[in-house]
Structure 1
């Protein structure tokens, strides 16, 4: 699909680098930029000392709200001079429901892009990723430090595992796949069979993509002693991919947190711009 509204998330203490990066993507795609400035509210005091420290807590919240307004004003001034269609919202949620707050805003964008500075953090990064993936139904583009993101990639790696999430990721990125010079459909340790990849792993999805005009190549790779995530990362280097497309959280979020998983590994350390969907 084409991206006409692109959302990004930022917060106090961050430079304007992420917003500038996403603004550049919007200019490339002639898209509207939506910026969400988020400050996570200090949790309310509890227990026997709550009455004593409540005044300090109120002062902390007032300082946070002031910082939120200052950051929002700075983003507004930054974008005012670019001649770009844009809007800026701000939110001050408590951490417990910040993911839902971000997810609700992502409902009204075609894609959310998280830049390297936000990805270098922890709490806000996790809330943004979970909010978009679990509360919006929209795709997410992760842009790690040192990469050169584009919405018009030349070579794309699609991580395919015959699950619903991978199919969603392909559908959300289909316009980029069509315009790319080459798309590598990568299956790691594919299992033949009616309930898995079919008699010829990758054949059905490759035919589907080819009917759309995608220049697709099927790569079936063994994991050997390596993790699936490491195999995908290395193959992206080998083919000089400038974008990876993958489904997220084929298992439950809780199971991924406890046992790890491809999604968790890729989200914690993407090595190139990665579009994920579920």
Structure 2
């Protein structure tokens, strides 16, 4: 039997957002005790926008691995089904009395099918929330589901356990002028509060103004400013940290509420081989990170 403390984040303690872009929030969790902080965060985040919250509880059906042995298959199915019911019950108990409308349902399939099913769920949300490192029983499944959701075209926020949702008044935007970065910039406009500060962060493009063209990041900062925000361009070097660490360190030390980046500008296969920025940020979070593909 799962037992856990009552939610540590209460929605009515937060200031209501003035942003009206968020109406459907999806959270994907596995229902284990480690994921319940993510459930609290999702309730609080949806409450900021008076949005509807759907929570999908994913449970791996391990019975397929014992399919060659009818007796072992039946036992594995029974155990997996019991785990599914326990995880869903834990999440439903956690959201009891939530100040927003919450729907909870389960995805119960072979591990290889769960990311694709989660991707389909994400197509009907304004944003998807996923607990970050340490918030899942299987970190490999967490990563696969996060990637799948990203490729659904929905902004996907990975939440560190210490994060307390609040209106976003300061965002950092990772910028490299790629198609994914342009989409990330548009997502920033949907996520932040009116008059927010937006740091446009350019990594390792310190000499981009020598050609007589505007310095990297200048034009997107101008566009964001025309939407009523205070946009500033910051050119930083990755140095020994690498691009992902440099981006996250800048956002964290600047006290940004969130880091928004365009995810997977190259193919996933190439990113896997080269150790891409997206994969590294999915693996480690110091603040909430929103991935946009």
**How far has the Cα of 1:226 moved from its partner?**
3.2
Classify 1:12/1:236 alpha carbon distance in 2 versus 1 (closer, same or farther; 3 Å): closer
Classify 1:185/1:197 alpha carbon distance in 2 versus 1 (closer, same or farther; 3 Å): farther
**How far has the Cα of 1:265 moved from its partner?**
1.1
Matched residue, 2:146: 129
Separation of aligned partners in 2, 1:198 and 1:252 = 29
Q: Any idea what SS the aligned residue of 1:80 has?
A: coil
**Are the equivalent residues in 2 in contact too, given 1:159–1:187 (CA < 8 A)?**
yes
Aligned length: 271
**How far has the Cα of 1:12 moved from its partner?**
4.0
**How far has the Cα of 1:55 moved from its partner?**
1.3
| Deviation >6 Å, runs of 4+ | none
Matched residue, 2:277: 262
Q: What is the correspondence of 1:212-231 to structure 2 with a 5 Å cutoff?
A: 212-231=227-246
Find 1:148's aligned residue among 164, 170, 176.
164
**How far has the Cα of 1:180 moved from its partner?**
5.3
Matched residue, 1:106: 122
Matched residue, 1:233: 248
Q: Report the TM-score, using the length of structure 2 for normalisation.
A: 0.84
**How far has the Cα of 1:183 moved from its partner?**
1.2
Matched residue, 2:260: 245
Alignment of 1:31 with 2:51, yes or no, is: yes
Task: Provide Cα deviations, 1:115-134, integer angstroms capped at 9, x if missing partner.
Answer: 24535741331232022012
Classify 1:8/1:262 alpha carbon distance in 2 versus 1 (closer, same or farther; 3 Å): same
**Are the equivalent residues in 2 in contact too, given 1:173–1:245 (CA < 8 A)?**
yes
Q: Any idea what SS the aligned residue of 1:271 has?
A: coil
Matched residue, 1:272: 287
**Are the equivalent residues in 2 in contact too, given 1:45–1:54 (CA < 8 A)?**
no
**Are the equivalent residues in 1 in contact too, given 2:200–2:217 (CA < 8 A)?**
yes
Separation of aligned partners in 1, 2:274 and 2:47 = 40
Q: How large is the RMSD of aligned CA atoms in angstroms?
A: 2.4
Q: Structure 2: which 5+ runs fail to align? A: 1-19
**How far has the Cα of 1:198 moved from its partner?**
4.8
**Are the equivalent residues in 1 in contact too, given 2:171–2:258 (CA < 8 A)?**
yes
Matched residue, 2:29: 10
Task: Provide Cα deviations, 1:156-201, integer angstroms capped at 9, x if missing partner.
Answer: 11110101111111212213345354211010112638xx995421
Classify 1:95/1:140 alpha carbon distance in 2 versus 1 (closer, same or farther; 3 Å): same
Classify 1:87/1:198 alpha carbon distance in 2 versus 1 (closer, same or farther; 3 Å): farther
Task: Provide Cα deviations, 1:35-62, integer angstroms capped at 9, x if missing partner.
Answer: 101111115247xxx64x3311221112
Separation of aligned partners in 2, 1:71 and 1:60 = 16
Separation of aligned partners in 2, 1:5 and 1:71 = 23
Classify 1:222/1:257 alpha carbon distance in 2 versus 1 (closer, same or farther; 3 Å): same
Q: Report the TM-score, using the length of structure 1 for normalisation.
A: 0.88
